[in-house]
Chains A and B, each alone.
Chain A
Amino acid sequence: MSLAAMTLAAERSPPQRIAAKRWARWARPALGLVLPVILAATWEFVVRMGWSSGRLAPPPSVILATFVDLARTGELQRNTLVTLARVAAGFAVGVVVATALGAATGYFPTLRRLLDPSLQALRAIPSIAWVPLFILWLGIFEASKVTLIAVGVFFPVYLGLMGAIQSVDRKLVEVGRTFRLSDLGMVRRILLPAVLPAYVISLRSGLGLGWMFVVAAELMGASEGLGYLLIDGQQLGKPAEIVAAIVAFAIVGKTTDWLIALTAAPFLRWEDVVRQT
Chain B
Amino acid sequence: MLILDRVNKTYPNGVQALGGVTLEVALGEIVAVIGGSGCGKSTLLRAISGLDPATEGVIALDGESIKAPHEKIGIIFQEPRLLPWLKVADNVGFGLGDRPKSERRQRVAAALNRVGLADKAAMWPRELSGGQAQRVAIARALVPRPEVLLLDEPFSALDAFTRADLQDHLLDLWADAKPTLILVTHDVDEAIVLADRVLVMRPRPGRIFAEVEVDLPRPRDRQSAAFDFVKRRLLVALDRSLERTAASDTEIKAEAGAALWW
Residues of A within 8 A of B (CB): 171-172, 174-175, 177-181, 185, 189-190, 193-194, 196, 269-272
**CB distance A272 to B69 under 8 Å?**
no
Q: How far is the CA of A178 from the CA of B95 in the complex (A)?
A: 9
Tell yes or no: B255 within 8 A of A by CB: no
**CB distance B51 to A272 under 8 Å?**
no
**CB distance B83 to A193 under 8 Å?**
yes
Q: Which residues of A contact B81 (CB under 8 A)?
A: 171-172, 174-175
Q: Nearest Cβ distance between residue A188 and chain B, in whole angstroms? A: 10
Q: How far is the CA of A171 from the CA of B74 in the complex (A)?
A: 15
Q: Nearest Cβ distance between residue B179 and chain A, in whole angstroms? A: 15
Q: How far is the CA of A172 from the CA of B94 in the complex (A)?
A: 12
Q: How far is the CA of A201 from the CA of B121 in the complex (A)?
A: 30
Binary interface encoding of chain B residues 111-143 relative to chain A, with 1 for a CB under 8 A from any of its CBs, else 0: 000000000000011100000000000000000
Nearest to B150 among chain A residues (CB) is A178
Given contacts A180-B71, A270-B126, contact A174 B79 (CB under 8 A): no
Among B69, B85, B125, which residue has its beta carbon within 8 angstroms of that of A180?
B69
Q: Report the contact-size class of chain B (Cβ under 8 Å from the partner).
A: 20 to 34
Q: How far is the CA of A84 from the CA of B228 in the complex (A)?
A: 77
Q: How far is the CA of A174 from the CA of B51 in the complex (A)?
A: 8
Q: Which residues of B contact A178 (CB under 8 A)?
A: 49, 51, 69, 74-75
Binary interface encoding of chain B residues 80-122 relative to chain A, with 1 for a CB under 8 A from any of its CBs, else 0: 0101111000000011010000000000000000000000000
- Which residue of A172, A178, A190 has the most chain B CB atoms within 10 A of its CB atom? A178
Nearest 5 pairs of A and B residues by beta carbon = A193-B85, A272-B126, A179-B95, A270-B85, A175-B81
Nearest to A185 among chain B residues (CB) is B97
**CB distance A190 to B75 under 8 Å?**
no
Q: Nearest Cβ distance between residue A196 and chain B, in whole angstroms? A: 8
Q: Nearest Cβ distance between residue A164 and chain B, in whole angstroms? A: 14
Q: How far is the CA of A178 from the CA of B72 in the complex (A)?
A: 11
Q: Which residues of A contact B126 (CB under 8 A)?
A: 270, 272
Q: Nearest Cβ distance between residue A197 and chain B, in whole angstroms? A: 9
**CB distance A270 to B51 under 8 Å?**
no
Q: Which residues of A contact B75 (CB under 8 A)?
A: 178
**CB distance A177 to B85 under 8 Å?**
no
Among B74, B77, B79, B84, which residue has its beta carbon within 8 angstroms of that of A270?
B84
**CB distance B83 to A272 under 8 Å?**
no
Given contacts A171-B77, A270-B126, A272-B126, contact A177 B51 (CB under 8 A): yes
Q: How far is the CA of A270 from the CA of B90 in the complex (A)?
A: 13
Given contacts A171-B79, A172-B83, contact A270 B124 (CB under 8 A): yes
Nearest to A269 among chain B residues (CB) is B124
Q: Nearest Cβ distance between residue A128 and chain B, in whole angstroms? A: 39
Nearest to A270 among chain B residues (CB) is B85
Q: How far is the CA of A203 from the CA of B49 in the complex (A)?
A: 39
Q: Nearest Cβ distance between residue B142 and chain A, in whole angstroms? A: 13
Q: Which residues of B contact A181 (CB under 8 A)?
A: 97
Q: Which residues of B contact A171 (CB under 8 A)?
A: 77, 79, 81
Q: Nearest Cβ distance between residue A176 and chain B, in whole angstroms? A: 9
Q: Which residues of A contact B84 (CB under 8 A)?
A: 270-272
Interface pairs (11), CB distance under 8 Å: A172-B81, A175-B81, A175-B94, A177-B69, A189-B83, A189-B97, A190-B83, A270-B85, A270-B125, A270-B126, A271-B84
Q: Which residues of B contact A177 (CB under 8 A)?
A: 51, 69
Q: How far is the CA of A40 from the CA of B126 in the complex (A)?
A: 46
- Which residue of B68, B77, B84, B85 has the most chain A CB atoms within 10 A of its CB atom? B85
Q: Which residues of A contact B144 (CB under 8 A)?
A: 179
**CB distance B77 to A179 under 8 Å?**
no
Q: Which residues of A contact B95 (CB under 8 A)?
A: 179
- Which residue of A175, A189, A193, A271 has the most chain B CB atoms within 10 A of its CB atom? A175
Q: How far is the CA of A180 from the CA of B84 in the complex (A)?
A: 19
Q: How far is the CA of A194 from the CA of B74 in the complex (A)?
A: 23
Q: Nearest Cβ distance between residue B77 and chain A, in whole angstroms? A: 7
Nearest to A190 among chain B residues (CB) is B83
Q: Nearest Cβ distance between residue B195 and chain A, in whole angstroms? A: 23
Q: Which residues of B contact A180 (CB under 8 A)?
A: 68-71
Q: Nearest Cβ distance between residue B22 and chain A, in whole angstroms? A: 25
Q: Which residues of A contact B51 (CB under 8 A)?
A: 174, 177-178
Q: Nearest Cβ distance between residue A273 and chain B, in whole angstroms? A: 10
Q: Which residues of B contact A272 (CB under 8 A)?
A: 84, 126
Q: How far is the CA of A106 from the CA of B259 in the complex (A)?
A: 56
Q: How far is the CA of A71 from the CA of B70 in the complex (A)?
A: 66
Q: Nearest Cβ distance between residue B51 and chain A, in whole angstroms? A: 6
- Which residue of A171, A172, A174 has the most chain B CB atoms within 10 A of its CB atom? A174
Q: Which residues of A contact B70 (CB under 8 A)?
A: 180
Instruction: Beyond A180-B69, A180-B70, list 13 extra A-B contacts (CB 8 Å).
Output: A172-B81, A172-B83, A174-B81, A175-B81, A177-B51, A177-B69, A178-B75, A179-B97, A180-B68, A189-B97, A193-B85, A269-B124, A270-B86
